[in-house]
Amino acid sequence: MFQIQDHSLRPVATAHLAQTMSLLELGNLELRERVLEELSTNPALELVEERVCPLCQRRLPGPGPCPRCIQSSLDEEAIVFVSPRDSYRKPIRRGGHDEMPELEPAAPESLAIHVLQQLAAELDPEDRPLAVYILSSLDEDGFLQEPLPYLVRTTRAPMEQLQSVLEAISHVDPPGLATPGPRKALLAQLDMLPSDDPTVSLAKRMLEETFQLMGQKDYAQIAKHLKISQKTVRQTLAFIQENLNPYPARAFWGSGRGPQSGDPNVYHSPDILITQRAEDAESPLMVEIFSAMRGWLRVNPLLKKALKDQAEGPQSEEWKEHLERASLFVKCLQQRNNTMRQLMQLLVNEQRRFILEGDRHLKPMTRAELAEEIGVHESTISRAVSSKSIALPDGRIIPLAKFFDRSLSVRDRIKEIVKKETTPLTDAQIASELHDQGVDIARRTVAKYRSIEGILPARLRKREKVAA
DNA sequence: CTATGGCACGGATT
DNA sequence: AATCCGTGCCATAG
């Protein structure tokens, strides 16, 4: 009699609620684990790998929505759908492998794709497979650990060709990709900045000659070696820290800041991917919400039928429980997807300019407003938004919560003002400049934002300009 | 004396 | 209820 408590039917209603909530707040990876767990303990749950169009549910040969559906939604601002794929990041093998890793076209690494798209124009068609091979051998941080001679052997490509492809890869969007380590990655990123900038060339020298010391934060030694002041050393170091990324594959997280608790060692694969079908600014955005698994979950129809056929029997009770639980789980999953879809639809329509054109165009909005519009509790939105990341068309991966950052556009304006200034402006002057632009904030607040963005105070900026 | 950063308070948001 | 954010006041560095 006591065992019945375990799976008795009574708590179903509450369980439903509890599960819906707990699924919503999960990111892709956690959800995946959760689904796998459920799948392995519940025989009534079934994973269908059949490819169907996420919009019209018709069968398809490949992933993504079918051309017809895309065609018919072309005049919409955005096509939002839950994609029956897992997000792209797969565990990456370390260590030596002699054979070429198979190029799984069915499960594309979207980082690789992102890079290839940019490379398409400038790369010789015959170099393409080489690029693919290189991209698929990168480790989590985007480094190429295999030494060059090794690559020459496995690919049987001439050294120079290899080098030119590597060179090309390291200079497209996540800059510094496919370099052997942080030092080279940083150098590659510096290559892309104006070389006549004294800070840039100084940073280069620093990396080339005193990398070791930089790791130890031995400012005195660095200063001595390069024959510059310690202050300059600090400034250059700050510049590197603010503007460059030693781990290219970890790409842009937030504004590149955040050495705090938020475990910067994990490269988050996005939970949502936004792409644009054409370069054309008018063309609709494709918003792909990754479901945790490839394929779809459903209640096993065979088991359902079996239960109907023999309503009695020793197993029927157990089956019934399994079926209940399975259908509950599927419902929760659907609800999660549904909420995410609605959320993204609103978000994308509202913040289109932010997504395409950058931080300045973020319209301030609160979770509460969104919740109102969709008709859910605001805590629901909170949960849906937290711990999720989203990949923008330009390849940046940002936390979804950034959409609700009220000060982002102002901070961006400040960056712009400082960049354009001829003579260093004090915080008060910046504040009044902002006031002219229609943004009213206190002087003190300008200072806060400035420090968040890692911009030095006016007094110290002066030195830089003089040096320039 | 001025520009900036620290601390802390109140109000909004989660 | 807890947290985050903008701001005012004040000390301090330059």
- Read off the pLDDT of residues A286-319 as tens digits, 9 standing for 90 and up: 888 888 777 788 888 888 887 777 766 667 778 8
* pTM of this structure: 0.62
DSSP A425: P
Which residue has the closest alpha carbon to C6 C1'?
A445
Query: CA at A369, C1' at B12: how many angstroms apart?
Result: 14
Is residue A217 over pLDDT 90?
Answer: no
N-to-C CA span, chain A: 83
Instruction: Decide the pairing of beta strands A389-391 and A296-299.
Output: unpaired
Q: Average pLDDT, stretch A354-373?
A: 89
**Banded model confidence at residue A248, pLDDT cuts 50, 70, 90:** low
Instruction: Answer yes or no: are the C-beta atoms of A239 and A256 closer than 8 Å.
Output: no
Is residue A28 over pLDDT 60?
Answer: yes
Is A451's CB less than 7 Å from nucleic acid strand B?
Answer: yes
**One-letter-per-residue 3-state SS of A351-409:** CHHHHHHCHHHCCCCCHHHHHHHHCCCHHHHHHHHCCCEEECCCCCEEEHHHHHCCCHH
Is residue A446 over pLDDT 90?
Answer: yes
Q: Which of residues 393-432 of A touch strand C (CB under 7 A)?
A: 405-407
- Model confidence over A101-159: pLDDT tens digits? 323 222 234 566 667 766 766 777 777 777 777 777 776 667 777 777 777 777 777 77
Query: CA at A426, C1' at C10: how many angstroms apart?
Result: 19
- Model confidence over A64-74: pLDDT tens digits? 677 777 777 77
Is A383's CB less than 7 Å from nucleic acid strand B?
Answer: no
Is residue A226 over pLDDT 70?
Answer: yes
DSSP A250: G
Identify the pLDDT of residue A103: 30
Is A350's CB less than 7 Å from nucleic acid strand B?
Answer: no
Burial of A356 (0-12, 13-18, 19+ CB in 10 A): middle
Is A453's CB less than 7 Å from nucleic acid strand C?
Answer: no
Which of residues A274 and A12 earns the better pLDDT score? A274
**Banded model confidence at residue A19, pLDDT cuts 50, 70, 90:** low
Is A426's CB less than 7 Å from nucleic acid strand B?
Answer: yes
Q: What angle do CA A214, A216, A221 make, to 5 degrees?
A: 65
| Residue A74 to residue A131: CA distance in whole angstroms | 33
Q: Average pLDDT, stretch A47-59?
A: 76
Which residue has the closest alpha carbon to C13 C1'?
A459
- Model confidence over A268-286: pLDDT tens digits? 467 888 888 766 777 788 8
Residue A148's contacts (CB-CB under 8 Å, 6 or more residues apart) are: A159, A162, A163
Query: CA at A366, C1' at B10: how many angstroms apart?
Result: 20
Instruction: Decide the pairing of beta strands A389-391 and A272-276.
Output: parallel
Query: CA at A360, C1' at B10: how many angstroms apart?
Result: 28
Task: Name the nucleotide nearest A406; use CA and C1'.
Answer: C5
Which of residues A327 and A256 earns the better pLDDT score? A327
Q: Which residues of A58-84 are buried (b: 16+ CB within 10 A; e: fewer)?
A: eebeebbbbeebbeebeeeebbbbbbb
Is A35's CB less than 7 Å from nucleic acid strand B?
Answer: no
Q: Is A340 helix (H, G, I), strand (E, B) or coil?
A: helix
Is A412's CB less than 7 Å from nucleic acid strand B?
Answer: no
Is A306's CB less than 7 Å from nucleic acid strand C?
Answer: no
Which residue has the closest alpha carbon to B3 C1'?
A426
Which residue has the closest alpha carbon to B5 C1'?
A447
Q: How many CB atoms lie within 10 A of CB A50?
A: 10
Is residue A6 over pLDDT 50?
Answer: no
Is A58's CB less than 7 Å from nucleic acid strand B?
Answer: no
In strand C, the nucleotides that come within 7 Å of a protein beta carbon are 5-9, 14
| Element spanning A276, H or E | strand A272-276
Identify the pLDDT of residue A101: 32
Distance of CA A229 to the CA centre of its chain: 39
Is A305's CB less than 7 Å from nucleic acid strand C?
Answer: no
Is residue A427 over pLDDT 50?
Answer: yes
In strand B, the nucleotides that come within 7 Å of a protein beta carbon are 2-7, 13-14
| Residue A367 to residue A381: CA distance in whole angstroms | 6
Identify the pLDDT of residue A255: 27
Is A448's CB less than 7 Å from nucleic acid strand C?
Answer: yes
Percent of chain A with pLDDT over 90: 8
Task: Name the nucleotide nearest A443; use CA and C1'.
Answer: C7
Instruction: Answer yes or no: are the C-beta atoms of A395 and A119 closer than 8 Å.
Output: no
| Residue A391 to residue A344: CA distance in whole angstroms | 13
Which of residues A86 and A49 earns the better pLDDT score? A49
| Residue A317 to residue A308: CA distance in whole angstroms | 12
Task: Name the nucleotide nearest A442; use CA and C1'.
Answer: C7
